[in-house]
Amino acid sequence: MATCPGSTMNRIDVFWHEGMLKHYTGNGVFDTGIDPGFLDVLEKHPENSDRVRNMVSILKRGPISPFVSWHPGRPATIPELLSFHAPEYINKLVETDKGGEKMLCAGTFLNPGSWDAALLAAGTTLSAMKHVLDGHGKVAYALVRPPGHHAQPTQADGYCFLNNAGLAVQLALESGCRKVAVIDIDVHYGNGTAEGFYRSNKVLTISLHMNHGSWGPSHPQNGSVAELGEGEGYGYNLNVPLPNGTGDRGYIHAFNELVAPSIKKFEPDMIVLVIGQDSSAFDPNGRQCLTMEGYREIGQIVRNLATRHSGGRLLIVQEGGYHVTYSAYCLHATLEGVLNLPQPLLPDPIAYYPEDEAFSVKVIEAIISYLKDEVPFWRTA
């Protein structure tokens, strides 16, 4: 594969619209929006525009910039949203937007400007998917906020209103793709995407996440290995809850032994990589301890899976990632991996935690053994 800068063979088409910065999430104690009255300094909500401004700037001015081609985003239309979401839920969001500020569930604020940003995130992700479907590029990245993977067909959750990746998957299916695989490495369970395709055998959803369980009425799913899908979709939702502190080696072990074989058995004609840098070692919202090296290797593995199984077609969708500087670095590393570059372009400025892979490897082996017992397509060697 050619790796010369700007080559159409090896470039990433990034879709972005600055209107997404207008989603204002407020200040408080972390993500609560609450001022307890006894703190001198409150902090920005973790899902703030600064994190995404740094992701944009590192791709524009970092060493990866020659490999990046920029494309404009656009708002989704209401009918487009109905491929994944229920009309009653969308009507509720439209009405809530007219009413001004509102917290839809814990940490999830629909403020003036938020709905327009959510429509831009959904539409921009659809544009990125369409770009790949139309053959204008092989690898597209939707750099979007608010995030989407917790948004269920009828429910906002975890800073998410519209399921950007889920909408893109629906577009792929409606455009003739037979099977789509979604690999979600955000540190939280991609419960919204899983819920949307829980009864489908056309979409394989794989989520690697912290073992955080349910966090309330907006997020009833546990993300456990036993949540395998239902009906025709049984076995097509693979949850990989990983122990805290899993780290680079544990994630790579899970990718090599569990994710890659699943993709090989499923044979998708499109792969969607859902990324959140909140699985990094320094994220305030996660405990999984990935470093740039791990993200780089994951990017490389997924690119190779796309080359082998989906004709190279890969859509990458941005989700969480709340450390304002390190998230940008980890994104840079992930995309370096996706580009299959022979050498890292950017050194890791802060990785210094030692890793202990012994426990995570045991957990991953147990998950594989469970899948072999329970999931039909895992039974064959």
Q: How are strands ordered across the β-sheet holding 237-242?
A: 68-72, 12-16, 139-142, 314-318, 270-275, 180-184, 203-210, 237-242
Closer residue to Zn ion (CB): 3 or 224:
224
Active site residue 323: no
How far is it, in rounded angstroms, from Cα 343 to Cα 322? 27
Alpha helices per DSSP H over 4-86? 49-61, 78-81
CA angle 239, 257, 274 (to 5 degrees): 45
Cβ closest to Zn ion, residue 47 vs residue 248:
47
Q: How far is the CB of 250 from Zn ion (least distance, A)?
A: 18
Instruction: For Zn ion, give the closer residue by CB, 186 or 297.
Output: 186
In the bound complex, what is the minimum distance in angstroms from residue 362's beta carbon to Zn ion?
25
Q: Report the distance separating Cα 149 and Cα 186, nearest Å.
A: 9
Which of 279, 300 has the CB closer to Zn ion?
279
CB nearest Zn ion: which residue? 320
CB of 170 to Zn ion, least distance (A): 22
Ramachandran category for residue 352: left, alpha or beta (phi over 0 → left; psi -120 to 50 → alpha): alpha
Q: Name the DSSP class of 176.
A: T
| 381 Cβ neighbours under 8 A, 6+ residues apart | none
- What is the C-alpha separation between 145 and 161, in angstroms, rounded? 10
* Residue in the block written with tokens 């969001």: 93
Determine the angle formed by the axes of helices 358-374 and 247-254, rounding to 10 degrees: 20
Pick between residue 80 and residue 227 the one whose CB is nearest to Zn ion.
227
Q: Cβ 72 to Zn ion, closest distance in Å?
A: 26
Task: Write down the least CB distance from residue 277 to Zn ion, Å.
Answer: 9
Q: Which residue, 168 or 177, is less far from Zn ion as judged by CB?
A: 168
Could you tell me the smallest distance in angstroms from the CB atom of residue 343 to Zn ion? 30
Residue among 178, 183, 149 nearest 164 (CA): 149
Binning the chain into helix, strand and coil, the percentages to the nearest 5 are 40, 15, 45
Q: Are the C-beta atoms of 46 and 31 separated by less than 8 Å?
A: yes
Binding site for Zn ion (CB under 5 A): 186, 188, 276, 278, 320
Which residue is catalytic, options 17, 23, 85, 150?
150
Q: Which residues are catalytic?
A: 150
